[in-house]
Structure 1
Amino acid sequence: MYHATSWKQRISLFFTILLPILITQISYSLMTMFDTMMSGHAGTGDLAGVAIGASLWMPVSIGLNGILMAITPMIAQLLGRKEKGQIARTVTQALYLSVLLAVVITGVGVVLLQPVLSMMHLEADVYRVATRYLGGLCIGIIPLFASNVIRYFFDAQGYTKISMSITVIAVPFNVLLNYLLIFGNWGFPKMGGVGAGYATGLTYWFILLLSVGVVFRVEATRGYKLFIQWYTPSWRMWKEQLSIGVPMGLSIFFEASIFSIVTLLMGSMYDTSTVAAHQSAINFTSMLFMMPLSIASTLTILVAFEVGSGRLEGARAYSRFGVSTAIGLLGITAVFLYLFREQVAMLYSNDPKVISLMMHFLVFGVFYQLSDAAQASLQGVLRGYKDTAVPFMIALAAYWGVGLPAGYAFAAWTSLGAYGFWVGIIAGLTGAAAGFAMRLAAVQRKARRELQRA
């Protein structure tokens, strides 16, 4: 990583960091997409069960990973201040915290899973698949969180190609396990959608082993002596990471949980085909969201690096370029989504009813792409400034104060029906984008004043 002094250098560095992050994010998304698609070809009940299970797990997973993501701006600002010697200690403390969080969430899941699913009044087959899918996935929670810490350690230093290589290798491994465990090929048990959970859990272990191996193999990371030199657990460092990471994690959780709560509400209000079509549409649009999400991660790294060295104009330049790029790219994918929505729907199911419903959901998905791009990239910039508490409040108000109530109202009391939930999602994302834009302007003014005083 280096300080760019011209727009040409900034754009070059931006895309050098972005492209591997994008491929990494798409790879993770592809694993979930293949779980859903391959389960759908095992049966509509399997598709709905995996959809329900994934809807419960996704917000929890990415919310907790948001807490761990705090080490990205922490490491990038340490690099900007030329305090490289503190990085190994920061990463080690994050690893301790990741294991602790994984153990806690596993315990909470054991206690709450059955009551939550029972409240949804699911069909017996869907209930069985959802329960066992999450049980299989549970075996990979600890390696998932630990490997994400290592991934953020790579990314914060600009070594995004390392994370990319690991996840690109993991995707075919996951697909192979799905092939074996969902359909019972090559003598393996035929588990249907349940097999997708076990395949994903085992893939997380595979990713962790690859990540640890790379730390020792690459000269640039071997010098930190991770997994060789251990530090005493430090509540002070955990507190610093949690003070940044908890608001980040909660912001991500409240955004992701809208989609999950909507799926759970649909499970109690509509039939299995509607739930399957909705979740399949969410699954595909979530993959498209990997573009602004990757841009947000890139902006966090570059903005934090510039802020750490006191180069606020460079941070502002990256902010403007990154947000504009996110909105532009999602505008292009929105057109693609509209034109090829039937072909996309046919990837997920052979059921004509599911295909028809999914096509209609994707039309609404076209409209929230731009708002989603804006709010995600703006949050990435704010994280680069280590500003996370106020954005969390904005996210809570926009997603749960506006989006979810509006969606339920449209679904329950208008002719939109299930599609009304998606109108609510659009409203929530648009409100969040506006709030983040105003907060960023205030944060940048404050940073400029503090630098002038210094």
Structure 2
Amino acid sequence: MYQKSFKFELFKTYKLALPIIISQLGVILMATSDNVIVGRLLGPLSLGAAGIANSIAFLISSIAVGGMAVIAPMVSKLIAEQKQGELARLYFNSLIVALIFSGLLTAIGIVVYYNFSILGQTADIERLGAPFFFFIILSNVPMIFFLAVKQFTDGFSKPSIVMYITLLGLVFDILGNMILITGWWIFPELGLNGAAIGTIFSRILMFSILLYYTKSKEIFATLFDKTHWKWDTKLIKVILERSVPAGFQSFFEIAAFSFAVIMMGWLSETDLAAHQIAINVASTTYMMATGFAHAGSIRIGEAWGNKDRHGIQLAGKAAYTWVLAFMGTCAIIIILFGNNIIHLYIEDVEVLKAALPLLTIAAFFQLSDGAQAVGLGVLRGLADIKIPTYITFVAYWLIALPAGYIFGFPLNRGAQGIWYGLLLGLTFSALFLYARFRNVSKRSVL
């Protein structure tokens, strides 16, 4: 009976995760395609500038990206409890939270833009990276609202529409980047900034299509019941109490990788470009792994709403099983085809030579990266946010960054040393989050 139930849960998790994974892949491929196009058309200097600008912009937005993810399990729990009116209230107040995040994070981004020199990069990187960064910060606003609405389609176990919209956005982003970077017809040649401006338009398009879709489909009709559209300070507080710590979980991890970008800039422009290639590959597999994490959180939210403790444990086990199998496969692919992957980005011999060992290290932390992503997801489904936040802080700020700095500079291991530190932090996070889930899932959460 247990085996049959687990097989059923594996199937349900896979069915829910697959379109989410494809959507996540589409999101990361926007950044990847930007880097491939920039590297091919503009060279390693622009690639490095785009890399550091994207890293800092994504770091700032990570609080909202991670934070909004708490909404989907809240939605699936309310659906299981058949509380339709509360769904509409949650929808309206989630948009208010998205507005709060957008305003605060854009303000932070503008402050960073006017103080871009504090990142300690070369004059050429700063000259190219600062304006690119400004446009990416602006593009984060429609992205945050897109994520807010996306949480409801995911919570209803209808993630396919987001998959199609994201893939459409990817195509639009690639075409827009190529046209705006080099210029074509009535469009001027904007160089590196063209890639960022293309991202703005693609994200506006994605949000507009998703909003139109949800308003036109009967299954989401309860969300637009305006009798429940009321400013609810208590509900906003609940969302923020969950989303802010969840956002900092993402922030602590992404901050570690973003600060690693800055440390790479202290080494050389070649190491910076090599790091950007390797981190793009690792980010691609990571974002796909978060599809299993997101699916696990939704399945656990539903089991919680149904007061099914055994279902909670099965959902967690299924999410871990899928992500370990997937990331193990990714590790093998990276080891076997790492050199071919790097050639997709750039032909610069020095960058190629520097990137390959970093990609090898990335292969080794695939399992840890996937496991810690799922750990955060399944705990998010149980509204267990604070302790995992402390775990991520210790993992990345007290282990990964200090170890990376020591390996990279005092021990003279350079770029590889910085990545060894990241490997240690990811492994610590994976182990302790798994232990936390085993502990919490056994408690009385019903």
> What is the TM-score with the length of structure 2 in the denominator?
0.96
Residue identity opposite 1:331 in structure 2: G
Aligned position for 2:191: 192
Native 8 Å contact 2:46 2:128 kept in 1: yes
Task: Find the residue that maps to 2:405 and give its secondary structure.
Answer: helix
Find the aligned partners of 1:418 and 1:66 in 2 and give their Cα distance. Answer: 28
Q: Is structure 2 residue 285 aligned with structure 1 residue 291?
A: no
Q: Is structure 2 residue 432 aligned with structure 1 residue 435?
A: yes
Once the two structures are superposed, residues 163-194 of structure 1 have per-residue CA deviations (whole angstroms, 9 ceiling, x without a partner) of: 11111111100001101111223342222222
Aligned position for 1:55: 55
Q: Is structure 2 residue 349 aligned with structure 1 residue 318?
A: no
Q: How far does residue 412 in structure 1 lie from its aligned partner after superposition?
A: 0.8
Task: Find the residue that maps to 2:167 and give its secondary structure.
Answer: helix
Once the two structures are superposed, residues 76-97 of structure 1 have per-residue CA deviations (whole angstroms, 9 ceiling, x without a partner) of: 1111222122111101101011
Aligned position for 1:425: 422
**Aligned counterpart for 1:366 among listed residues 346, 353, 363:** 363
Aligned position for 2:251: 253
Find the aligned partners of 2:97 and 2:257 in 1 and give their Cα distance. Answer: 27
Q: How far does residue 219 in structure 1 lie from its aligned partner after superposition?
A: 2.0
Query: Between Structure 1 and Structure 2, how many residues are aligned?
Result: 443
Native 8 Å contact 1:411 1:417 kept in 2: yes
Which region of structure 1 is more displaced relative to structure 2, 375-384 or 61-70? 61-70
Task: Find the residue that maps to 1:33 and give its secondary structure.
Answer: helix
1:183-222 pair list within 5 angstroms: 183-222=182-221
Aligned position for 2:92: 92
Native 8 Å contact 1:306 1:312 kept in 2: yes
Which region of structure 1 is more displaced relative to structure 2, 4-13 or 273-282? 4-13
**Aligned counterpart for 1:244 among listed residues 224, 234, 242:** 242
Aligned position for 1:234: 232
Residue identity opposite 1:132 in structure 2: P
Aligned position for 2:118: 119
Q: How far does residue 371 in structure 1 lie from its aligned partner after superposition?
A: 0.6
Q: How far does residue 113 in structure 1 lie from its aligned partner after superposition?
A: 2.2
Find the aligned partners of 1:366 and 1:338 in 2 and give their Cα distance. Answer: 6
Find the aligned partners of 2:121 and 2:5 in 1 and give their Cα distance. Answer: 57
Native 8 Å contact 2:75 2:156 kept in 1: yes
Q: CA RMSD in A?
A: 1.6
Once the two structures are superposed, residues 45-104 of structure 1 have per-residue CA deviations (whole angstroms, 9 ceiling, x without a partner) of: 211110010110112212222222221121111112221221111011010111121122
Native 8 Å contact 1:50 1:194 kept in 2: no
Aligned position for 1:225: 224
Task: Find the residue that maps to 1:224 and give its secondary structure.
Answer: helix
Residue identity opposite 2:247 in structure 1: G
Can you give the 5+ residue segments of structure 1 that lack an aligned partner in the other structure?
A: none
Find the aligned partners of 1:58 and 1:139 in 2 and give their Cα distance. Answer: 12
Once the two structures are superposed, residues 255-278 of structure 1 have per-residue CA deviations (whole angstroms, 9 ceiling, x without a partner) of: 1111100101221x2111110110
Native 8 Å contact 1:18 1:294 kept in 2: yes
Native 8 Å contact 2:89 2:230 kept in 1: no
Which region of structure 1 is more displaced relative to structure 2, 384-393 or 314-323? 314-323
Find the aligned partners of 1:367 and 1:142 in 2 and give their Cα distance. Answer: 35
Task: Find the residue that maps to 1:289 and give its secondary structure.
Answer: helix
Residue identity opposite 2:106 in structure 1: T
1:308-347 pair list within 5 angstroms: 308-347=305-344
Task: Find the residue that maps to 1:310 and give its secondary structure.
Answer: coil
Q: Is structure 2 residue 382 aligned with structure 1 residue 385?
A: yes
> What is the TM-score with the length of structure 1 in the denominator?
0.94
Find the aligned partners of 2:120 and 2:138 in 1 and give their Cα distance. Answer: 26
Task: Find the residue that maps to 1:395 and give its secondary structure.
Answer: helix
Find the aligned partners of 2:322 and 2:228 in 1 and give their Cα distance. Answer: 41
